[in-house]
Amino acid sequence: MKIAVFPGSFDPVTNGHIDIFERASQMFDELIVGVFHNINKKPFFSVEDRVKFLTEATAHISNIKIDAFDGLLNEYVRAKQASVIVRGLRTVTDFEYEFQRAQMMRHLDSGIETIFMTTNPKYAFVSSSGVRELSNFNGEIKGLVPNCVELAIKKRARQL
Ligand code: ADP
């Protein structure tokens, strides 16, 4: 069974991520989306909320599992019996960052392969940080994020 892990912050998940999940899940028996829990960073949404949004927004993908983790990614990947890490690429800036991460991963465990999938051009400009920025100023996020995220952001804005 070929298992891949797609790690990330997903704070919040965007339609760009979902597009990569849909394509990557067709290449593996199982795709595990691992929400990285960084205890040193104050998130926009809690890990629990992020997992909830991801679960709802990927209900149509049968071989996907949503999970959360902290600690070293290579150890997490091995614990999940996986040997492939999937990441997405939008820009040259992404490439530089991802390239370095992939080399670090190879240094830690040469048996784990990192693969990259290029963005759907429709979502090339979409990032979680951009969505957070728009949200802070009540900008329109429709079409950039799954419905459940859009509703949660709009509800939050009403409560502030
Ligand atoms: P991290 O904080 O680990 O970078 P993100 O949740 O921001 O986590 O992103 C996870 C992965 O998804 C990264 O590899 C990123 O390049 C990719 N990604 C983010 N947005 C898009 C998009 N619109 N299209 C394709 N890939 C994307």
Q: What CATH number is attached to the domain comprising 117?
A: 3.40.50.620
Number of domains in the chain: 1
Can you give the pTM of this predicted structure?
Answer: 0.96
Q: Residues with Cβ < 8 Å from 138, sequence gap 6 or more?
A: 157
Q: Is 114 in the pocket of ligand 1 (CB under 6 A)?
A: no
- Tens digit of pLDDT for each residue in 64-101? 999 999 999 999 999 999 999 999 999 999 999 999 99
Closest atom of ligand 1 relative to the 11 alpha carbon: 6
Is there a catalytic annotation at residue 41? yes
Listed as ranges, residues in the chain with pLDDT below 70 are none
Q: Residues with Cβ < 8 Å from 114, sequence gap 6 or more?
A: 84, 85, 86, 87, 98, 101, 102, 105, 106
pLDDT of residue 38: 84
**Burial letters 7-17, b for 16+ CB under 10 A, else e:** bbbbbbbbbbb
- Going from the Cα of 137 to the center of ligand 1, the distance in angstroms, rounded, reads 22
Is there a catalytic annotation at residue 142? no
Pairing relation of β-strands 3-8 and 64-69?
unpaired
E strands present in the chain: 3-8, 30-36, 64-69, 84-89, 113-118
Q: Closest residue (by CA) to atom 25 of ligand 1?
A: 119
pLDDT of residue 82: 98
- Going from the Cα of 61 to the center of ligand 1, the distance in angstroms, rounded, reads 19
| Nearest C-alpha neighbor of 16 from the set 152, 140, 120 | 120
Is there a catalytic annotation at residue 90? yes
Contact 3, 28 (CB under 8 A): yes
Q: How far is CA 81 from the centre of its chain?
A: 19
- Calculate what percentage of the chain has a pLDDT beyond 70: 99
Closest atom of ligand 1 relative to the 87 alpha carbon: 14
Q: Is 55 in the pocket of ligand 1 (CB under 6 A)?
A: no
Q: Is 15 in the pocket of ligand 1 (CB under 6 A)?
A: no
Sheet with 84-89, edge to edge strand ranges: 64-69, 30-36, 3-8, 84-89, 113-118
Q: Is 50 in the pocket of ligand 1 (CB under 6 A)?
A: no
Q: Cβ–Cβ contacts within 10 Å for residue 93, how many?
A: 9
Contact 80, 1 (CB under 8 A): no
Q: Is 90 in the pocket of ligand 1 (CB under 6 A)?
A: yes
Domain that holds residue 109: 3-159
